[in-house]
Structure 1
Amino acid sequence: MGDESEKGLLFCPWKLIRLYPHSHVGKQNQEYVAGFFKAMLFEGRAWDFYCLLDPGENGRHPLLLVPSAQFEEFLDEINLHLTVQFSIPRGQACEEFYVTFGDGNTPRPRFLGHADSDEALEALKSRTHRLPIDDLTSLSTTTLQSYKEKMDRVYNSCKSKKNKKDPEVARRKRIERQKSYGRMIKRTQRYLGLRNPTSSNFDSDSSMESWHVNMLVPFGTKESTRFICVDVEAWETGAHDVTEVGLAVLDTQHIVDVPPGIDGQNWFPLIRTYHFRIREHINKVNRRYVHGCPHLFNFGNSEFVHSEDISSRIGTIIGDNESDDQRPIIMVGHDIRQDLNYLQKVGFNIWSVPHFLDEIDTKSMFQRLQKSSNGRGLATVCDELGMPGQNFHNAGNDATYTLRAMITMAVKQTVKSPERQENSAGESE
C-alpha cells in the first residue's frame, strides 16, 4: 500500500465506471443495464485500486482509479453476457477513460489495494488518509498549475451533469467546515480548563497572559467530565466482524491538580486504557490493507471477551442508563463517526446514553491546525505532533494515541502566541 504506479500506466476513474450505464447507455435499456452492471462489478473479479489526493484546497475526496485495461476486460465480459457491443467512447470523451499521470515529476497514483466486493472497497476508502502526502514543493509554478488543472478535469469528468455544484457554495462550505473544526478545538480546551468558558478569545483573558504549561489549568469547570476515546478494529474481509475494541479514558477530576507540562505530556499517565479482543474472531488478523497487531498492546493486558458480552463491558466503562456515574462524557476518536457506528454493530448505542455530551474528532482537529482539506492517518498525526508511537492498528494503542493527540493539540494551541492574538470571530462556541 502506498507505492507509486508505473509511469505511463493508463487509468480510469472509478466513479466514471460507476456512471457508465447512466452516461453511455440509451434510456430504453438504461435501468436494466445499470442493474446488471452493478451486479457484475465484483462478480468473480478483483479490481486494483489506486489513489491520488486532491492537490488543491477544494476539500474533494481522494480520487479512486483503476487501470483502464481492467475496465476494458469488464466491458468485454458485459458484452458476452448481454450480447451487446458496449465500448469506451471515441473522441474527446475517450480521454476521460485513459488518463496518465507523472508528467514533469507530478504525483503518480499510489496503490491502495485489491477489492473484490463493496465491503472490501469501503475498507480501502477508509484508509486513504493513511497515504503519504504528495510533495509538490519541487514543482515549478507552471507545472503545479498544469497538474491542478488536469486533476480538475479528471474530477469534473466524474460529475453527473444533473448535479453540477456551484463553486461559490462549495467554497463557503469549505470555510464553514474549517470554522467548525476550530470550534471543536476551543470546546476541547474549555473541557480541559484551558480556555475561559465565558470568553470567545484569549485577548480578554488576562489570566492567560502569564500562564504557562507548568502551571495548573487556569479555568475550572462546574462539573468534571470524562473524555472517552474509542477505536474499533474490524476484519478486513468482513467489516461486520469486529475483532478489537479499545477505550482510553481521561477524567478531568484527575488533571485539575496536575500541570499539563510540555504538550500536555504530564496528563498522559492519567489515561486509563482498555483493550478488548473478541474471542469468536481471535484468529482474524488484518494483513491485506493494514498490518494488524492485536497481540501487541502497549499499555497493559488485553481482555478476551465473547461478542455477546462486549456491549456490557463497554457500558461499564462509558456508563449507561444504569451507571452510578452520570457525569457528562465526551467521545473522542480519529474519524469518530466510523468508530461510533462500529460500537452500534456490537450492540452499544452511544446516542442512547443520557450523559453523552459531545464528540471530538482528532482528524478534524489536525486538519484545522494544518489548514488542510485532507485528513491524515493517526500515525502521521502523532509523528507531526512530535509524539510518535508504535504498534498502530491495535485498538487499545490507537485509542491511547488518539487521546494523547487530542491533549497535545489542545495544549499546543493554548500556548501558541498567534492563537492568543487571533480574532476568533465566527468560531466562538
Structure 2
Amino acid sequence: MFYLGVAAFIRFETQIFNRLQSREYEQRALLTCTDVVQCMAQEGLLPEVVFMAIDFEQDVHGREVTELGLARLDMQHLEQGIQGSNIATAGRKRRNYLFDNYMRIDIAQLPKVIVNSLTGDKQIILVGHGIAVEVGWLKKLGVPIEDLKSVVGIVDTTRLAREVLGCSRSLESVMSAIGIPYEDNTFHCGGNDAFYTMQVFLAMLVRRAEEEMADLGGMEGSVYTKVREMAWRAAPLKRDVRRMMDESREEEEFGGFGGLFGEESGQGVGADQGDVHR
C-alpha cells in the first residue's frame, strides 16, 4: 500500500507540474497574440515570432502516428503566406492533401523531423485544435515540448472558439461558423487540418482586432488586410491537386511538392466549384 501511495503521489505531483507548465506556455502565447491583435488594430510592429499549427493523425487504434501536419507563419514575413507540410509515415498515401509540401518517411525518422521543424533562431508558438493531444503525442514520440527550446508558447483554437463563438466545436464546425471556405472530405489529413487550424487561429485574431478597431475608430491597415486574406483564402480543390499530380507524373505513394516549407506557399486557387462550403 505504501508503494502504491507513493506512486499515486508522484503521478499527482507530475500532473500538477504539467498543468502549471501548460499555463506558462499559454500565458506567453496570450501576450504574443495580444501584440499581434494590437498591431492589426493600430498598424504597429509585429512581434518576431513564428506561429506553427500542428496536427497528428493516428491509425484506427490510436497507437501509431500516420501523419504529421504542420502549417508555418512567420510574422516578420507575411508575404510568404502560410507554409504547409504533410509528413506521412511509410505505407501512407498522399490522399487528399491540398497544400504545399509533402514528405513520406519511415516512422523512426519522425522525431528527428519534428525537432528540425520546431527548432530555429526565432521563437515558436504552437497552435492546435485541442493542443493537449498534440503535446501528448510529442511526449510519446520522445520529443517533449520542454525539450524544444524554440517553442515558447501554445495556443488552443478550441478555447479561442469558445471565447469568440461562445462554444467549442470541431474544426469543420468552426470553419463553417466563421465562413472559411473548405471542400468536403478534406479533414482528418494532418497537413490539411494543420493548415485549416492556422486559418481558424488567424480568423480569431482578426475578429479581436475588428473589435478593437471598432472601439478605437481605427482604419483597416496592411497587416490586418494580409492576415484577413490568409485566414479566409480558399484551399485548392482536390481535383486541381490531382491534375497537378497527373501532369507532374507524381505517384500517389510518394508525393513530391518539395521538402518542408518550400518557397511557394499558401497559393490557394478559387473555390467557386465543387462541394465547397463558404
Normalising by structure 2, what TM-score?
Answer: 0.61
Shift of 1:370: 2.1
After superposition, the CA RMSD in angstroms is 2.8
Aligned residue for 2:38?
Answer: 195
1:351-376 CA distance string (max 9 Å, x none): 2112221100111000011233xx20
Q: How does 1:186-265 map to 2 (within 5 A)?
A: 187-192=31-36, 194-195=37-38, 208=41, 211=42, 217-221=43-47, 224-237=48-61, 239-255=62-78
Which one of 375, 379, 384 corresponds to residue 177 of structure 2? 384
Which one of 188, 208, 216 corresponds to residue 413 of structure 1? 208
Shift of 1:348: 2.2
Going from structure 1 to structure 2, the CA distance change for 1:186 and 1:241 (only over 3 Å counts) comes to closer
Aligned residue for 1:43?
Answer: none
Matched, 1:278 2:89: yes
Structure 1 unaligned runs (5+)?
A: 1-181, 197-206, 212-216, 259-268, 284-293, 320-324, 422-429
- 2:27 & 2:154 partners in 1: Cα distance? 12
- 1:417 & 1:308 partners in 2: Cα distance? 47
- 2:214 & 2:160 partners in 1: Cα distance? 14
Q: Which has the higher mean CA deviation after the structures are superposed, 355-364 or 294-303?
A: 294-303
Q: SS of the counterpart of 2:63?
A: strand
Give the percent of matched residue pairs that are identical in Structure 1 and Structure 2: 24
- 1:298 & 1:380 partners in 2: Cα distance? 19
Kindly tell me the number of residue pairs found equivalent between the two proteins: 190
Shift of 1:344: 2.3
Aligned residue for 1:140?
Answer: none
Going from structure 1 to structure 2, the CA distance change for 1:417 and 1:349 (only over 3 Å counts) comes to closer
1:204-235 CA distance string (max 9 Å, x none): xxx95xx5xxxxx32333xx111111000011
Indicate the structure (1 or 2) with the bigger Cα radius of gyration. 1
Contact 1:278/1:306 (8 A) holds in 2: yes
Normalising by structure 1, what TM-score?
Answer: 0.41
Contact 1:379/1:388 (8 A) holds in 2: no
Q: How does 1:27-46 map to 2 (within 5 A)?
A: none
Going from structure 1 to structure 2, the CA distance change for 1:191 and 1:317 (only over 3 Å counts) comes to farther
- 2:207 & 2:118 partners in 1: Cα distance? 27
- 1:186 & 1:344 partners in 2: Cα distance? 23
Contact 1:307/1:346 (8 A) holds in 2: no
Which one of 131, 149, 155 corresponds to residue 354 of structure 1? 149
- 2:89 & 2:206 partners in 1: Cα distance? 35
Letter in 2 for 1:403: M
Aligned residue for 1:400?
Answer: 195
Contact 2:56/2:69 (8 A) holds in 1: yes
Letter in 1 for 2:192: N
Going from structure 1 to structure 2, the CA distance change for 1:402 and 1:184 (only over 3 Å counts) comes to farther
Greater length-normalized contact order (CA 8 Å, ≥ 6 residues apart): 2
Q: SS of the counterpart of 1:330?
A: strand
